[in-house]
Amino acid sequence: MPQDVIRPFPRLESIKLGHVTRCASMESNSDLTHISYEHVFVKVIEFGPVTRSHLRSLEISFRDPFGDTPGPDPVPRMERLDKLTLIYCRPQYAAEGWNDSIADHVLDFCPNITALKLSDSVCPYFRPFLANVSHIASQITSLELESPAPSSTLRCTPTISFPNSKTFDT
C-alpha cells in the first residue's frame, strides 16, 4: 500500500506516484502539499480529508480525455489547491483533443486555483479547454501551455509499482 511505502518519510511534502486508482490510504501524511499521479482518464482520485485539506499542487497525467470510471460521489473539493497540472499523454494516433468535458471533470473540485498548466506533446491545441474555463480565468495568475518533445512524455506507464497493493494498478 502507498502508506507502507511513504511511512518512513513522515515529513514528505511531495510525491510522484505513477499509475494509481485511489489514494485514500495516504491519509496520515499531513505534510503532503504536492501529489503527482497518472490515470487512464482525467480522474480526480479520492484522497483522505487531511491530505485534501493540505494539498496545494496536483498533477494528473492521463491518456483518454473522454472516458471515466466510478469515483467519489460527490467529488471532494480541494479548496486550498493552488496549482493544477494536466498532462495529456496522447498516443500518436489519438484524435481526441482538449475538449470541454475535461474542464467539467476537474475544475469543480479545485475552485480556487491560481496556476494552471496544460501539456500535450502531440497536438497542443488547448483553446477548447481554455474557452470552457472562462469562469475562473480572472483568478488565474500563472498559465503554462506546454508542448514538450514526445520523448520526454513517455511516462504514462506505471513508474512505481506496489506489489500486493489493492490500491495501485501495476
Partner 1 sequence: MYSDDILPQFQNLRYLSIGDDIASESLPSHLRRLPLLTSLRLGPSAHYNLIASDFFTLLQGPTRHPSLSHLIFECFGGQSGSRVDVGANVEEDIEEGMLSDGWVRPLYAENFDDEDVAELARICATSGIRLEGDATSLSKFEEDYELEEANRSVLRCLQLKSLDEISWSDGSPYFDHIPIDHLDPQNLNLVKIDLPEKNWFRLSLK
Written as nine digits, the cell of 65 is 480525455
**What is the Cα Rg of the chain in Å?**
15
Q: Which stretch binds partner 1 (CB under 8 A): 13-21, 23-31, 44-52, 133-141?
A: 133-141
The yes or no reply on residue 112 touching partner 1 (CB under 8 A) is no
Give the integer Cα–Cα distance in Å for 70 and 158. Answer: 21
Name the pairing type of β-strands 14-19 and 83-88: unpaired
Report which DSSP code applies to 55.
-
The conformation of residue 21, written as its DSSP 8-state character, comes to: S
* Residue window 143-162: x/- pattern of binding to partner 1, with contact defined by CB under 8 A: xxxxxxx-------------
Tell me if 130 contacts partner 1 by CB under 8 A. yes
Q: Residue 129 has which C-alpha cell?
A: 479547454
Instruction: Select the residue interacting with partner 1 from 69, 112, 141, 157 (CB under 8 A).
Output: 141
134 binds partner 1 (CB under 8 A): yes
Q: Considering the rule CB under 8 A, would residue 142 count as an interface residue with partner 1?
A: yes
Total number of residues binding partner 1 (CB under 8 A)?
A: 21
Angstrom distance (rounded) from CA 167 to CA 93: 30
Nearer to partner 1, 72 or 148 (CB): 148
